[in-house]
Chains A and B, each alone.
Chain A
Amino acid sequence: MRKLYITLKYLFIGLWSMFVVAPFLWALSTSFKDFNSVTGGATYIPWVDFEPSLEGWKVLLRSPAQGGVNIVEPYFNSIAVTCLASFISIFLGTLAAYALSRFTFKASFIKNSDITFFFISQRIMPPIVLSIPFFIMLGKLGLLDSMLGLIMVYVVLLMPIAVWIMVDFFNKVPKEIDETALIDGCNPYQAFYKVVLPNSIPGLIVAGMFCMIFGWTDFFFAFILTFTEVQLLPVAIVALNSSITPWWSLSASALVSVAPLIVVAFIVERYLSKGNLSGALK
């Protein structure tokens, strides 16, 4: 019975892994094909089924004048905008979340839960509703088509995620830990960064990952609020499309664009299970 259970378990895991990995393998194999290999029926294994070609990858590095789409600059633009916007969102969001978790705010009928909902409500609105005011505001500030403008917009969009995740996380950190830190000689700021924050690393990582994923994959605002000066990766990838869909370079760009998220996920994965509060309050 137990053997059957183990066999079924590994069978399921194996199938699921194939389901997850297959698209990557497909993209990887396609990125080394050329027009003939893609259109000439299903082929899978390089050198056996088809002759590998670097054309798909070269397009990504060539300048538009040479018939390519240079994604190097948009790539670093995306990294800069995503990292900065995520960092600012996490920094401000964590402070807001801590305040909402620990202090009671009250202004007539508005209470802590209403303020938390206010933050989340920013994400409920369809992006199209926000796009026009953002466009007008950035235009008046002279920040259209600029990194700073994009970062500001992304902070507005990402901070609610950070607040939402971190309020929930801080609510699970016993208040008595803060109180003990105060009694042990920390002022409220020291209690926050010496005690509460180190015990909230898993929450910070989850919030950070969400911010980075949302920021990295956003196409809509990057497309509307930038033109020629600043271009982000998703917009550059779309520019690859022409009358003939270039599957080989689209696959290469897809792999390049998910690579940073996979690297980040591998780096932070161990922290997710490492920090836990079981020793704080048994």
Chain B
Amino acid sequence: MDLLAKELVYQPGSEFHLDSMSFGMKKGEIYTLLGRTLSGKTTLLKTIAGLIQPDSGRVLFEGKDLNSIPVWKRNIAMVYQQFINYPHLNVYDNVAFPLRQRAISDNELRLRVSDAIERVGLKDFESRRIQELSGGQQQRVALARSLAKQAEILLLDEPLVNLDYKLREQLREEFSKIFTSEYSSDSILIYSSTDPMEAMQLGGETIVLDEGRILQQGPASEIFENPATTRVAEITNDPAMNLLSGEIAGSKVIINSKMSFDIPIHFRNLASGQYTFGIRASDIALDKKGYPFNVELAEISGSETFLHAKNENVSLVGQLDLVKNFNVGEKVNLHLDSQKLYAFGLDKNLASSPFKELARG
């Protein structure tokens, strides 16, 4: 492992921002820190950058203790979620700024700056002032600055969160291309996000954070398919995975008096008893033969409708592939695909998933 964090603790007030956090990262890999707001993502990035000194614990890079190296001597680049640039400099000088802080020859500086500016698609904007650029272009300048530095660790703190929907989609795609190019082969790229889609799209390894702790670490697809706990299932799905309390009794999965399913095949090894069952919003569909629900709220987003519905004590959100207006209180029938059900034990750990059977007593 090239970057090692050992038992990082940071507690500025009553709450932990980093709670005994340990992990290892390798060069040439992309890591996505996935977590809700205040889960510790930015604190962790700032700790790696050296902007925050942890209360205890160490960060080691290639065996060297980073705690004793000041920020400006670390070979790290960072892009913030706000579009941070130097307003008194033009685009070229912004990108050249970190290189001018080092003794780099004029020729190399010019090459690296031009290359970075070209890579983010701002070739014709070199002499523009930052204020003359749009939000997306400003964030590209910040990215170009971090690319030009050719840092060993590149930190991206929710770089797309402040952009509008369309631009976010477009930049997300471009970012993936830039990061998966040859640049990332000898550097560690750490990308923080609240959006599970971004983690999936970037690929690489995902680290799920919550309240300053690492809940799960592994390939993005693995975490998506087999979330270790109910909390991970909530964080790694947008909308969050629906969690329903129920029980397995013989060959039935019983949610409440009106809702029960035949036990799906991947639950066959589960013992009878109480469980929390999880189902993704996208695995819920309108179906006349489905269970009756009352509509509580319907949100139309693009070509989809997020339907919030309730049946007795069961509230869930369905992601429907259509644009339809529902009235509040309207009765709908929803089909829950039992083959896509997850089961979590009373300890909230995953007991069985559609992708993997976990033998449990």
Contact = CB atoms under 8 A, between A and B. Distances in A.
Interface string B81-119: 011111110000000011001100000000000000000
Contact of A282 (B46, B97, B145, B162): B162
Main secondary structure of the interface of A (DSSP, over half): loop
B206 interface: no
11 contacts: A176-B80, A179-B49, A179-B71, A181-B86, A182-B71, A183-B76, A185-B98, A186-B72, A279-B87, A279-B130, A282-B135
Contacts of B131: 276, 278-279
Interface string A177-195: 1011111111100100001
A182 B138 contact: no
Interface of A: 174, 176-177, 179-187, 190, 195, 198-199, 275-282
B126 to A, nearest CB: 15
Nearest to B141: A279
B77 A183 contact: yes
B36 interface: no
B76 A187 contact: no
A173 to B, nearest CB: 10
Given A180-B78, A282-B138, A185 B84 contact: no
B335 interface: no
Contacts of A177: 84, 86
Given A186-B101, A280-B130, 13 more contacts: A176-B80, A176-B84, A177-B86, A179-B51, A180-B80, A182-B50, A183-B49, A184-B101, A190-B101, A199-B86, A277-B87, A280-B84, A282-B135
Interface residues on B, range: 20 to 34
B87 A280 contact: yes
B280 interface: no
B133 A279 contact: yes
Contact of A279 (B98, B129, B145): B129
B269 to A, nearest CB: 51
B41 interface: no
Contacts of B88: 195, 198-199, 275
Contacts of B129: 279
